[in-house]
Structure formats: structure tokens, C-alpha cells
Amino acid sequence: MRILLATLLLAALPVQAHHSTATNFTQEIIEISGTIEQIRFQNPHTSFVVKTEAAPGQAPYWLVESDARSTFQRKGVDLGAVAAGSKVKVSGRKGVRANTLFLRDMVLEDGTVFTSSGTGRD
Amino acid sequence: MRQSLCSMVLVSITATAQAAHPVDGVWILERIVEETAAPLTPAGAAVQQAYDLLEDDPSLRCEPASMARVWGNPNSRTGIRVAADHVQLEHELFDLRRSIPGEASGRSGETLNLAGTAFATMGKATYRLDGERLIVTSSGLAAGFLRTGTGYPQGEGASATETFWREGDHLLLELVYRDPALFDGEYRILHRLFATGETEVPVYECTDADYDWFEQLNAEATEGEQP
């Protein structure tokens, strides 16, 4: 896997984000696939709503949370790399709240990998 | 998407003509070096036990739960400037601004956000200089949470001392809490911060964490499937 800037800084520090990432998200890594319906580049957490093909009776929408907009900007991450309507495969830490996860990486259809540290190629 | 151009409006932390103090600058938390166990009394443990992180965390409303919460935040800047008659602390997180008068002034400074809202969880502060160390003492803290992940509580009337000193390119901050109601002893956290090289702290524009709209989205989707 060739990821240029995908060094994730999921540091094991006892530090806290807006709503304490350490406790709002488990250590379990899960993966979902779907289409980005909505993007919110904001502080303290950027979020993506991803619509998946869910089984009948199952909730189809997932809320993928990530770093603050200001953090992305400070790292020089290209926020234009992802857009609503993109088909994506997302992996991240499963949230305590239903259908939430904290972004580890997001792979777009063209192989671009989007992480909190930047974009690269799968 | 609410990516306003306003976020590009910057708040200046640049020094005046006065010589810079060693702790002046814009800093970001690198790591927490040491943290003592929270010496909770039975009353403190009871508050922690009742804490619901999905509902009770003031951060969800863009409010500082405590000083420890603000300093413990990753990836957000704090600007420090020691001026002739006050110390200016500018926390990027929640756009908090602290204008802190000297001990001898007989006044104390509270913590406001850019909208002018005061946060009693941060208390009222004064400062003094001890050589190259900056010491900020805050008292009369309102009840809050030192750690919003674990629910370590902050009792009404607690006090805190922040001691800053420079070590090479880094800033060290020792934060000591004293809480006669909820702690049996001092609670101490040592932070290490790095200099960003910036001279300004950007406006943060925090958005409340509201999950209702998202839960509603799924509720409507699954209800739509019902025969």
C-alpha cells in the first residue's frame, strides 16, 4: 500500500479532543462502504455522513468524525480531496454512539487515501 | 458546510515594543509528561460515578469544562504574551481569552470567549513572575470536570496554579489543582508544549456537537421501510 502522507497520528496521549476521542470511540477498528452524503468541515470535529447499503431495518447512515478543521488547515491537508457524492471505503474506531466512527482512513474510488494527515494513493 | 471565511480572521498575539518574555509565543500541546492520580474523596468519586460522557461533557456545548480540559486539548494553539501590566492568554479552543492582571493590582481576570461569555469553571486569575517563570493563580472555580473522558470532577471553589517556564524550544506548564471538597490532596499535571512559530491564534468558531439531527436521519430512513 503506497500512502504518501498517511501517517496517522493517533497518539496514545491522554489528551482530549472536543468530546474526548479517547472515550467516545472504542479501539475496535471497523470498516464501512458507501457514498458521502454530507461533509462538515468545522471545529472541533470535521464530519462526513456516509450512506451505506444497510440490511432492512438497519440504519443506513454513518457519521464519520475526524480532526478539527483548524487542524487540517494547520497540516495543509487538501480538504477539496473529498466531496459529497464520492463513493468511499472508510475505516476507523467504532464509536460509543450508534453508527459513528472516528476516521482512520478513507479510500476514494480512484484510490486516493484521505486521512487526517493528508492524501495519498492506495 | 459552514466553512466561513471568518475563520481566516486572525487575532493578533504579537508582542508590543516591550522585550519578549521567554514564555511568550504560540504553543501547542506536545504531550502530557506526568499526571498524578486524582485523589478523589468519596464525594468526588460519587460525582465521577454519576458522570455521563455522552451528555454531561460541557465541551459538547463549546464550553470549557476546566483549565485541565483546555490545556489537555490536542492540536489547538495557545498564545501567551507577558505585557507590562497584564498577561494575555489566548486559547484557540472555544476562542477563550484570558486577560490576567498582576497580583499587586488588586484585580483579577476572568475567562471570556470572543462573544463575551464568561466561564466560571476557569475561575478568576492573577499573575506574578518568578525569575523567568510565569505563575498564574486562579481561585473561585465553579464546578466542572477536570477530565471529560474520565469524569474527574472539579468542585465548587477549587483553585489552580499554572506555572510556565521555557526549556529550550519547548514550554513546560505545571498545573496544580487544590479542591478541598472533592480531593484529598493536590492533583498535578505537567504539560510539554512546542512552539508553532506563529504569532497569531486563529479564530476557532466552535460548533456545538449535536447528534440529534444524525439520529433523526437514521430514524426517518428506517421508518420509511415500515410496511
- A1/chain B closest Cα distance in angstroms: 27
Strand pairing class (A100-108; A112-115): antiparallel
Residues in A touching B51 (Cβ below 8 Å) = none
Span B21-35, average pLDDT: 96
- B171/chain A closest Cα distance in angstroms: 17
Distance CA B99, CA B87 (A): 6
Span B31-42, average pLDDT: 94
Q: What is the pLDDT of residues B170-192, one digit of tens each?
A: 999 999 999 999 999 999 999 99
Q: What is the pLDDT of residue A5?
A: 34
Q: What is the pLDDT of residues B87-128, one digit of tens each?
A: 999 999 999 999 999 999 999 999 999 999 999 999 999 999
pLDDT > 90? residue A32: yes
SS3 A10: coil
Span A83-110, average pLDDT: 94
Q: What is the pLDDT of residues A9-30, one digit of tens each?
A: 333 333 444 556 767 899 999 9
Distance CA B25, CA B60 (A): 28
Among the ranges given (B56-60, B80-84, B135-139, B161-165), the one the predictor scored with the smallest mean pLDDT = B56-60
Smallest Cβ–Cβ distance between B206 and the set A22, A43, A58 belongs to A43
Distance CA B64, CA B70 (A): 6
Q: Do A44 and B59 touch (CB under 8 A)?
A: yes
Instruction: Grade residue A84 by pLDDT with cuts at 50, 70 and 90.
Output: very high
From the candidates B212, B214, B220, which should be mutated to test the interface with A, based on the most A CB atoms within 10 A?
B214
Q: What is the pLDDT of residue B225?
A: 66
Residues in A touching B53 (Cβ below 8 Å) = 19-20, 23-24, 96
Q: What is the pLDDT of residue A115?
A: 87
Instruction: Grade residue A119 by pLDDT with cuts at 50, 70 and 90.
Output: low
| ipTM (interface predicted TM) | 0.76
Nearest CA in chain B to A75: B75
pLDDT > 60? residue B227: no
State the first-to-last Cα distance of chain B, in angstroms, to the nearest integer.
35
Name the DSSP letter for residue B49: H
Look over chain A and give the mean of its residue pLDDT values, rounded to a whole number.
82
